[in-house]
Amino acid sequence: MRHDANLTAARPSFVRHLECSLTGEIYPADQRHGLSAAGRPLLVRYDLDGARAALSATVLAQRPRDLWRWRELLPVRDAADIVSLGEQDTPIVPLPRVAARLGAAELLVKDEGRLPTGSFKARGLVMAISMAKALGVRVIAMPTNGNAGAAAAAYARRADMEAVIFCPADTPEINVREIAAQGARVYRVDGLIDECGKLVAEGAKRRGWYDLSTLKEPYRIEGKKTMGLELAEQLDWRLPDMIFYPTGGGTGLIGMWKAFDELEALGLIGPERPRMVAVQAAGCAPIVRAFESGARHATRWEDAHTVAAGIRVPQAVGDFLILDAVRASGGFAIAVEDAAIEAAVAEAGRADGLLLCPEGGATLAAYELALARGLARREDRVLLFNCATGLKYPLPDAGRPLAKAGPIDWDAL
């Protein structure tokens, strides 16, 4: 099979319609949509009986290992609309030394930093931009804490679209420069990501931009759900006991939960599900607060702050979907301090050679905290998500000076 067969071959589409995630109201496919009339995310629904007849474990095993191998469960109907920068499967990497210290049986990391633009945002944005292309969109806009804007800029340029990106003023400099280097207009805003989102919404009204904010269009979630599809196949169709997911807007957690239901409908997995754990930073934990209070919706978190910029989301439009998935799975939401995040990043790098991003570090810190609180069992098979390459973030300067011309104490080296 050709290396690009998933991108070029004609394959059947099983998209049926879109559905309001809150009310169940039906919306037609193949039209531009934002939120539903109820102001909530729309979900893509498929003819899963038809997909089951077309897609099997054997068929999947014969295809090139990239995101587009799941075409029958994705919204892009025509291969000509696919916009790709090479979205290969990401590896699942064990942390044996960290696991040994914690007394854990199996501790795994799905390393999303191997994707184009270095983060899992590529999954959602490649799908959103491909669908925008199919729908005739010429200008997209979105708010970002960094990585999503970089992915949007790259895929929009690939699709010959304009991209307008708004980010908080303290967004990591590397992200801002990366967004601009890939052809987008990027603006630093004196506010948080939800305030950037308000500017995008206003610009969409005034300028006709297509708003790609998290869950405010239906297709980023379809790209993110490929994390769940992919990890199920990688683990021989046996899902982990627990998944720790860094949760800001929560698109990936919601998407994976949707993916597991679709895989069961296709007969590829059974009814067993992982316990889903929404990981947030102590300085921005609206989902944790809502979970602990028993609320279905999360109120805005004021004065949000954390070193893990990707999960600094004061309010998520899909809050109830995150909480529903966490509760239905028997999981929980947990917050970790910045110091614990930084310590986890340092340990994973020193002990097992895997450089986590701060958001990935938050999942490791959360797992250790969950063990201490009796929320996780050491015999569980646990999967953590590292959502971006750690190379995008500031690293401590640990280099030691050495004068080549002076006397060198070789015993001290």
* Residue pLDDT, tens place only, 12-24: 999 999 999 999 9
Buried b (16+ CB within 10 A) or exposed e, 6-27: bbeeebebbbeebbbbeeeeeb
Confidence band (pLDDT; 50, 70, 90) for 352? very high
Overall number of domains in the chain: 3
- pLDDT averaged over every residue in the chain: 96
pLDDT band at 300 (very low <50, low <70, confident <90, very high): very high
Specify if 336 maps to a domain: yes
Task: For residues 96 and 144, state if they share a domain.
Answer: no
Residue 320: band (very low, low, confident or very high) from pLDDT cuts 50, 70, 90? very high
Same domain flag for 384 and 254: yes
Say yes or no: 235 and 274 in one domain.
Answer: yes
**Side-chain-facing half-sphere of 350: CA atoms under 13 Å:** 7
**Residue 398 pLDDT greater than 90, yes or no:** no
If asked whether residues 248 and 367 sit together in one domain, one would say yes
Domain identity same for 30 and 174 = no
Q: Residue 1 domain-assigned?
A: yes
Mean pLDDT (whole number) for 227-236: 98
CATH number at residue 125: 3.40.50.1100
Which pLDDT score is estimated for 1?
82
Examine the pLDDT at 77 and tell me if it is beyond 90. Answer: yes
Lookup: tokens for 206: 């005034």
Give residue 396's pLDDT band: very low, low, confident or very high (50, 70, 90).
confident
Question: Does 342 map to a domain?
Answer: yes
Residue 290 and residue 213 in one domain:
no
- Note down the domain range covering 250: 92-114+225-392
Q: 234 and 213, same structural domain?
A: no
Q: Check pLDDT > 90 for residue 357.
A: yes
Query: Within this chain, do residues 213 and 140 fall inside the same structural domain, yes or no?
Result: yes
Is 410 within the bounds of a domain?
no
Task: State the pLDDT at residue 406.
Answer: 83
Is residue 387 included in any domain, yes or no? yes
Please tell me the predicted confidence (pLDDT) of residue 203. 96
CB-based contacts of 27: which residues, under 8 Å, 6+ apart? Answer: 17, 18, 19, 20, 33, 36, 42
The label of the residue with tokens 């601009």 reads 180
In a domain, 400, yes or no: no
Q: In this structure, what token pair is assigned to residue 128?
A: 């959103």
Residues 269 and 187 in one domain: no
The per-residue pLDDT for 404 is 87
- The whole-number average pLDDT for the span 190-209 is 95
Residue 164 near residue 141, CB atoms below 8 Å? yes
Q: Are residues 209 and 331 in the same domain?
A: no
Establish if 57 belongs to a structural domain.
yes
Is the confidence at residue 343, as pLDDT, over 90? Answer: yes
For residue 36, count CB atoms less than 10 angstroms from its CB and return exposed for 0-12, middle for 13-18, buried for 19 or more. buried
The answer as to whether 397 is a domain residue is no
Give CA–CA dist 370/361, Å, rounded: 14
Q: How confident is the model at residue 72 (pLDDT cuts 50, 70, 90)?
A: very high
